[in-house]
Amino acid sequence: MMCIYTLCMQYMLIYIKSSQALSTLRWKPTASMFRLETIAILVAGLIIGGIVGWLAVSTLAPPPAGTVRTFYVLTTEWTFAIFDSEFKRVDKIEVNKGDRVMLIFLPLTFMPHELYEELEHEFIEEAIKAGLLKNEEEFEKYEEEAEETLAKEAYGVEFIPHGLAIRGYEDKVNVISEGRPVTISFTADKVGEFDIYCSLFCGWGHAFMKLEKAFVVKG
Ligand SMILES: [Cu+2]
C-alpha cells in the first residue's frame, strides 16, 4: 500500500517538474497557475493516499468480536488440515471470544482429488520421517485394513469415518463424518488454546489425528 502512495507522490513530482519544463517553452503558464495545479495535485494525492491507507488498515485489522468466522476442517487418513473462509490453508483456527464459529468438516470424498492426494502424501512423509511407517505400502496396508475390517464390518459404512472434536469444547464440537460434510456452528465462549482431535477410533493412525493448540480463542 505504501508503494501505491509513493507512486502517487512520484507521479506528482514528475508532473510538477514537467510543468516547470513547459515554462521554458513558448506557452508560458503563470506562476499562480503552477501554485493552483501543485495544490490540486497535493490534495488529490493526499485523498488517494488516505483512501489506500484506510483500505489497507481495514483489510489487515482483525474482524471485531462477535462476527461469524468460517473455517474448513478437511480430513483423510490420518490427518486434519485447516482452511480459512477463502480456502487458504492455515495452521490454526484463530478467533476472538464471542465470535460465532462455523466449522465445515469435509471428508476426503468432498475435497478435490489433488488436495486429498497432497494431504495423504504429506501425512505419509511425516510418518516415515518420525519412524512410524516404513514406506507407502505399509500405509496402504493399514488403510485397507481400516476400510475393510473397521469401516465396512464394524461400523457398516463405506468410508473410514473420522470424528472432529475440540478438547475443552466437546459440548459444542464433537461430530462424526461418515463420508458426508458436517457443519458445526457455535460461540467461542472460552479463552485459550485448545487441541483439535479425532473423537472416533479410525484404525492404525487414529492416535496421530491431533492438532495441538490449533483452536485459539483470544480474550
Ligand atoms: Cu480417528
What is the whole-number distance in angstroms between the Cα of residue 109 and the centre of ligand 1?
Answer: 16
Q: What are the extents of the domains in the chain?
A: 2-60, 68-218
* Ligand 1 is an ion; residues with CB less than 5 A from it: 198, 202, 206, 209
Q: How much is the pLDDT for 213?
A: 98
Spatial separation of the C-alpha atoms in residues 216 and 36, rounded to whole Å: 54
Nearest-5° Cα angle at 131, 130 to 137: 115
**Cα(128) to centroid(ligand 1), Å:** 19
pLDDT at 82: 97
**Using the 8-state DSSP alphabet, how is residue 22 labeled?**
H
Q: How far is the CA of 111 from the centre of ligand 1 (A)?
A: 18
Q: 68-218 is classed in which CATH architecture?
A: Sandwich (2.60)
Tell me how far the alpha carbon of residue 125 lies from the centroid of ligand 1, in angstroms: 19
Determine the Cα–Cα distance for residues 107 and 146; give it in Å rounded to an integer.
15
Cα-to-chain-centroid distance, residue 29:
55
Question: CA–CA distance from 205 to each of 127, 134, 139, 143, 173 (Å)?
Answer: 10, 14, 9, 9, 21
> Mean pLDDT for each consecutive 10-residue tract of the chain (219 residues)?
50 51 50 68 71 61 80 95 96 97 92 91 96 96 96 92 97 91 96 98 96 97
The confidence score (pLDDT) of residue 111 equals 87
Cα 206 to ligand 1 centre (Å): 4
The rounded Å distance from CA 108 to ligand 1 centre is 14
144 C-alpha vs ligand 1 centroid, how far in Å? 15
The answer to whether 214 and 92 have CB atoms below 8 angstroms apart is yes
Compute, in angstroms, the gap from residue 142 CA to the centroid of ligand 1: 13
Residue 8, pLDDT score: 47
**Which residues, 6 or more positions from 156, have their beta carbon under 8 angstroms from its beta carbon?**
none
Q: Quick one: pLDDT at residue 209? A: 96
Ligand 1 centre distance from Cα of residue 75 (Å): 10
pTM across the whole model: 0.71
